[in-house]
């Protein structure tokens, strides 16, 4: 499957629109910092595809799905095709559910997020605590920002975020094995009303549970 479900934290992954006057002329860093501070919750859809594979590996099939998040640390990232899988965090625990295997892996959220893409999109606003941020120029009609994890204990070497008019529309994930995946975000809704129990994980009946806390 290329980059694994656990590493995709991921892949995990969302984007947001900004009500910024003149944001099209702002730097990627300024746009993204404003997005993070102004977007408390969001939902939408994503497409994920591998654009560079590790030597000797097969190219993973494209994936599609939905996301919803509420800062800090609450999110539901659902893969619908080609595999039915789920990453869900309630602010304390992360649940990784493989529907085909009826298997759930439970992790402490803080340890699982770390310097991952999920920490940028779903975590706190203190971006520069775990990442070195820098401008990355214009490409494919987007203004790009590079986020380099400060920790060496992470699956990703570089995370790049592409913005247009204040909206993160794409994210490139380069891992330590030479693979690169591209996430594209669609149908973004900023700050929707979300129920208090939205992120409470309900354990599937009969599931095998592996607790790695």
Q: Domain boundaries in the chain?
A: 23-211
Higher pLDDT, 100 or 130: 100
Find the range with the poorest average confidence among 13-22, 126-135, 150-159.
13-22
Is the pLDDT assigned to residue 177 strictly greater than 90?
Answer: no
- Identify each DSSP E strand in 1-73 by its residue range: 41-52, 63-70
Highest mean pLDDT among 24-28, 41-45, 200-204: 200-204
How many Å from the N-terminal Cα to the C-terminal Cα in the chain?
25
Q: What is the pLDDT of residue 133?
A: 92
The pLDDT of residue 2 is 43
Q: Read off the pLDDT band of 8 (50, 70, 90).
A: very low
Confidence check: pLDDT of 7 > 60: no
pLDDT of residue 114: 65
Joined together, the tokens standing for residue 177 give 């094995």
CB contact at 8 A, 86 and 73: no
Do 144 and 131 contact (CB within 8 A), yes or no?
no
- Separation between Cα atoms, residue 144 and residue 28, nearest integer Å: 6
Q: Does residue 11 register a pLDDT over 90?
A: no
- Phi, psi torsion values for 170, nearest 5 degrees: -150, 155
Q: Which CATH superfamily is domain 23-211 in?
A: Lipoprotein localisation LolA/LolB/LppX (2.50.20.10)
Q: Do 28 and 161 touch, CB atoms closer than 8 A? A: yes
What residues form DSSP beta bridges with 105? Answer: 96, 210
pLDDT band for position 57 (cuts 50, 70, 90): low
Q: Give dist(CA 168, CA 121) in Å, integer.
A: 10
Q: Are 89 and 73 in contact (CB under 8 A)?
A: yes
What length does the chain have? 213
CB 150 within 8 Å of CB 97: no
- pLDDT, residue 142, reads 92
At 53, list the tokens: 């594979």
């Amino acid at each position: 499957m290329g980059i694994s479900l656990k590493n995709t934290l991921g892949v995990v992954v969302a984007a947001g629109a900004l009500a910024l006057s003149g944001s099209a002329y702002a730097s990627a860093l300024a746009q993204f910092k404003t997005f993070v501070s102004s977007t408390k919750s969001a939902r939408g859809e994503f497409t994920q595809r591998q654009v560079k594979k590790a030597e000797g590996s097969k190219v993973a099939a494209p994936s599609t799905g939905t996301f919803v998040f509420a800062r800090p640390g609450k999110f539901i990232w659902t893969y619908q095709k080609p595999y039915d899988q789920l990453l869900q965090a309630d602010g304390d625990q992360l649940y990784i559910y493989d529907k085909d295997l009826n298997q759930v892996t439970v992790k402490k959220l803080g340890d699982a997020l770390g310097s991952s893409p999920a920490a940028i999109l779903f975590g706190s606003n203190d971006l520069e605590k775990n990442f070195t941020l820098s401008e990355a120029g214009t490409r494919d009609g987007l203004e790009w920002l590079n986020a380099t994890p400060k920790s060496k204990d992470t699956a990703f070497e570089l995370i790049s975020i592409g913005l247009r008019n204040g909206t993160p529309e794409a994210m490139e994930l380069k891992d330590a094995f030479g693979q690169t995946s591209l996430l594209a975000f669609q149908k973004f809704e900023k700050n929707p009303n979300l129920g208090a129990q939205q992120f409470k994980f309900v354990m599937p009946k009969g599931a095998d549970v592996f607790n790695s806390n």
